[in-house]
Amino acid sequence: QVQLVESGGGLVQPGGSLRLSCAASGIIFSMYRMGWYRQAPGKQRELVATIASGGGTDYIDSVKGRFTISRDNAKNTLYLQMNSLKPEDTAVYYCKATWVSYGENYWGQGTQVTVSS
């Protein structure tokens, strides 16, 4: 019913770039705040970036200036452009949707990003 499907992950060298996508279905996409989270091996899941329905964005300090979160409401799709990638960016990246008015949220299955030479 409700599905968030991430894609675009893979293996990239340090300094390289990747663009992640999250295709949403079963929700009124424009009503949801969207976010990207990541979980590295042996670490807790952490917030990376969020984007509000109106387009306002927030980032954690470690990715600021390197990552850009965006959304296309007409395509029900969330994006994360990742530039100047570092080995410490290696993690499984997850898409999250939150209906702020009701506290409802959903998670995708994740996509692996590996930054290594």
H/E stretch holding 13: none
**Tokens read off for 78:** 């969330």
Instruction: Look at 4-8, 19-23, 38-42, 99-103 and tell me which has the smallest mean pLDDT.
Output: 99-103
Backbone angles phi, psi at 66, to 5 degrees: -110, -35
Model pLDDT for residues 86-116, shown as the tens digit of each residue? 999 999 999 999 998 888 999 999 999 999 9
8 A C-beta contact, residue 48 and residue 61: no
pLDDT score for 94: 98
| Buried/exposed 69-97: b ≥16 CB within 10 Å, e otherwise | bebeeeebbbbbebeebeeebbbbbbbbb
**pLDDT tens readout for residues 69-83:** 999 999 999 999 999
Cα–Cα distance, 83 to 93 (Å, whole number): 15
* Rounded Cα–Cα distance for residues 22 and 45 (Å): 18
Of 47, 112, 102, 55, give the one whose Cα is nearest residue 78: 55
